[in-house]
Structure 1
């Protein structure tokens, strides 16, 4: 009788420890490929939330702790081009790292638990997938596969390995083809679409610089239109003051749809085009204020 009592006691301890229950890494949902669009000002926009699903073979008889880690270089790539990426706990800046738990803390893993006294046998643990905002990259599709590992235990010491699954992240970079206009040396300024060039008193001639700034991540075509053909005009007289244009020091003929620059190659472009407006001396016109409009447009190729 003593032997039977001892055997029953040992079996009870084994059941209460929870080690007789099987922990499984069921799937990555809603799919094993996370796809989204990326814009430099907003980061990665995913159509769905992504999460890791685990299951327990039966209702927990004791607390069972587990954690996920994610391994793989934190960049998405297309040829020699790349985007930096991170995996985070939802709503936090705590990044999920790689490893088996050794040397890691609770902040470094995506952790969860099946608690005794609950009827839960399936857990979904969500992950934030972020491509960091502010990256300028060619308008291409970038991808990389990562290994998601489930371990039983708590971080700090090696966990008991359960299973790996593969998560592929794919980001399509939105086209960005933009220009701004302003003083030379200012640099690209978002949403700056007009600039006044004050030539001052022009009787003895005058010249002033201004710049067009281009920011693009794909092929583009930059054109200029000067409908007047290069003449300043006034609303109070029919007199005209001719002027010439230079681009980066080279003469440029004013006209309609003049191509300033173009390329069909997808790459990152940050350019400054320095224009000079030159009014020769000796204009014999009535006193007054004379103006003209020079328009620039950019289109994607």
Structure 2
């Protein structure tokens, strides 16, 4: 890669870390701490200055964003007033750092990012944005459970990813790493006893959510980008009588989970594997849909006539 930092005089590759939970999040801090402790990488951090979970690939377009230096031992770090995609784009642009990192890692997210949740995920978007800019990238998420997980699990998750990170950097150095995808890694709740790495494909699992009317000013914070522990979720009274007639307020509520039966990322994650899922920039349409519209489109003009309605 042109202007890549992989050819530093001390031969340490450079990793840039971003996330969507914010620069103070325990997942990011644990990942940076583990990377620094290996003494094998130069570590940069360019992450949102506050939580930006669930913002998908949103970017800041109409106004400038700010970056301020933050003290993180062993790393050069900046907190940025933008989205995860903004942070990844700024971090690989050479406007903030003098060289392009060899690898961008987004995470570790508090909550899994499998199936359709990948579309909503700011964590995955951080890695995808680096991929858009021709920089190899990995998004990492830990399947946090409010009743089972502890902050220490983020350290275990980071340590479990070091072999993959190191192996990816070897392939980058040898110019063998594929340029047509980036990796999305999910670690199981019981990460201390994981079953090893499993290459998977993106499935269709999704956490179903609905809406209900809530009193003015009622709000809550989800623990993760797209997953939450329903047992610990705060329940809110409707309180419709307290709502202004001119303006109503609505909050999301849990409705359950739709899960694949196929051999996909969510299934293997629940079985205790560390899932490794290659992703591209675009979601491919199913073959059946393509076949339908191939036959349907030529006749659209005829079918839209008054006599056809």
TM-score range, shorter chain: under 0.3
TM-score (norm 1): 0.22
- Between structures 1 and 2, the one with greater helix share: 2
- Between structures 1 and 2, the one with greater strand share: 1
